[in-house]
């Protein structure tokens, strides 16, 4: 009888472990912070309410919320990714793996984490408005239009997005993709050109990204912030002009399978979702019915 009770207890323990929610890591966008009650704090709250027992880590880069916000503009992205990889490796809640969800620039930053830091493993990557072929050609608007930061960023990008000093100290320059200056972009972009394999093939990047179970990309169908919006689905302008765009499947990144996206697509790992609304504007109902299933 004791042996039967022990076996039953072990089975219940196994069932409990199997039913444990997969942890979630989220990364905010430009001008935001980890714990803003109107944005990431709210997302964390509603995910925890819908998935009891889930561990949600909202990434903070810096020692406080002000630093976190400022770093979204001024801290070298490669340094941010290294910091996040360190945070994830040290977090005991994540040792078995996790799902990741990035908002706007946080989407491409988390993709860099997937490509560069496979331990602990990332299962599903959900990019909500992430600009995987670059943002932006032009700078339509940025959070806080009255802020002098936005005006300063525009002027700096116009003067020299691909200069070493700007690349190393302005986040938005590091994923600036000017279709009229493709060679400058490929040669001098210290972040996006690297993770998009523009200067050669890093087989480790490719292998690590292909290990994802699902790579979900959300495009906002009425986006006025990202130019071009198709970048959210890995498309971009045709080289040498800024009017006609091409979808992912017509890019060299896909046809030459530099990142393994073609193979992932054939395996059903790529998910392209469209939602009506401007950049990062979505309803709770849409989030619950469309995004939550990828977290469970």
Closest Cα partner for 239 from 155, 296, 178, 198? 178
Helix (H, G, I), strand (E, B) or coil at 2: helix
State mean pLDDT over 17-45: 91
Which of 32, 68, 223, 257 is an active site residue?
223
Decide if pLDDT at 296 tops 70.
yes
Highest mean pLDDT among 15-24, 166-175, 261-270: 261-270
**What whole-number percentage of the chain has pLDDT above 90?**
78
Which of 104, 127, 189, 231 is an active site residue?
104
- The pLDDT value given to residue 135: 73
Q: How far apart are CA 70 and CA 68, in angstroms?
A: 6
- The model carries a pTM of 0.89
Which of 28, 132, 177, 279 is an active site residue?
279
> What is the maximum alpha-carbon separation in the chain?
79
- Span 68-115, pLDDT tens digits: 999 999 999 999 999 999 999 999 999 999 999 999 999 999 999 999
- The pLDDT value given to residue 241: 82
CA atoms within 13 A on the CB side of 154: 12
DSSP string of 135-160, one letter each residue: S-SS----S-TTSHHHHHHHHHHHHH
For domain 24-142+202-294, give its CATH number from 3.30.470.30, 1.10.287.1080, 3.40.50.1820, 3.40.228.10: 3.40.50.1820
C-alpha 164, offset from chain centre: 24
- The pLDDT value given to residue 16: 44
Closest Cα partner for 143 from 222, 33, 253? 33
- The pLDDT value given to residue 45: 97
Domain boundaries, the chain: 24-142+202-294
223 catalytic? Reply is yes
279 catalytic? Reply is yes
- Span 104-140, pLDDT tens digits: 999 999 999 999 999 999 999 999 999 999 976 555 5
Looking at every residue in the chain, the average pLDDT score rounds to 89
- Span 230-263, pLDDT tens digits: 999 999 998 888 889 999 999 999 999 999 999 9
Decide if pLDDT at 193 tops 90.
yes
pLDDT tier, 225 (very low <50, low <70, confident <90, very high otherwise): confident
Decide if pLDDT at 206 tops 90.
yes
Q: How far apart are CA 53 and CA 109, in angstroms?
A: 26
146 catalytic? Reply is no
pLDDT tier, 19 (very low <50, low <70, confident <90, very high otherwise): low
Residue bearing the bigger pLDDT, 40 or 14: 40
- The pLDDT value given to residue 239: 82
**E-strand stretches of the chain:** 24-27, 56-58, 98-103, 122-128, 214-220, 236-237, 245-246, 270-275
- The pLDDT value given to residue 147: 60
């Amino acid at each position: 009888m004791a042996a039967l009770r022990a076996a039953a207890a072990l089975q219940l323990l196994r069932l409990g472990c199997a039913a444990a929610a997969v942890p979630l890591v989220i990364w905010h966008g430009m001008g935001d912070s980890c714990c803003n009650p109107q944005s990431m704090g709210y997302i964390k709250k509603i995910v925890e309410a819908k998935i009891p027992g889930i561990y949600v880590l909202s990434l903070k880069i810096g020692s406080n919320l002000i630093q976190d916000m400022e770093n979204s503009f001024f801290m070298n992205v490669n340094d941010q990714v290294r910091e996040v990889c360190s945070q994830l490796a040290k977090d005991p809640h994540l040792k078995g793996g996790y799902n990741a969800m990035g908002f706007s620039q946080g989407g491409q930053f988390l993709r860099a984490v997937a490509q560069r830091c496979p331990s602990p493993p990332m299962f599903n990557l959900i990019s909500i408005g992430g600009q995987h072929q670059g943002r932006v050609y032009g700078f339509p608007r940025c959070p806080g239009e009255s802020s002098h930061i936005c005006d300063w960023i525009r002027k700096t990008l116009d003067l020299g997005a691909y200069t070493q000093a700007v690349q190393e100290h302005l986040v938005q320059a590091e994923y600036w993709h000017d279709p009229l200056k493709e060679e400058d972009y490929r040669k001098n972009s210290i972040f996006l050109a690297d993770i998009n394999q523009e200067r050669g093939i890093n087989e480790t990047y490719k292998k690590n990204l292909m290990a994802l179970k699902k790579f979900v990309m959300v495009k906002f169908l009425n986006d006025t912030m990202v130019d071009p919006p198709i970048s959210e689905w890995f498309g971009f302008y045709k080289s040498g002009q800024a009017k006609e765009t091409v979808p992912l499947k017509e890019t060299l990144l896909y046809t030459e399978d530099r990142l393994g996206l073609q193979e992932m697509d054939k395996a059903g790992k790529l998910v392209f979702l469209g939602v009506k609304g401007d950049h990062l504007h979505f309803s709770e109902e849409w989030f619950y019915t469309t995004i939550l299933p990828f977290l469970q």
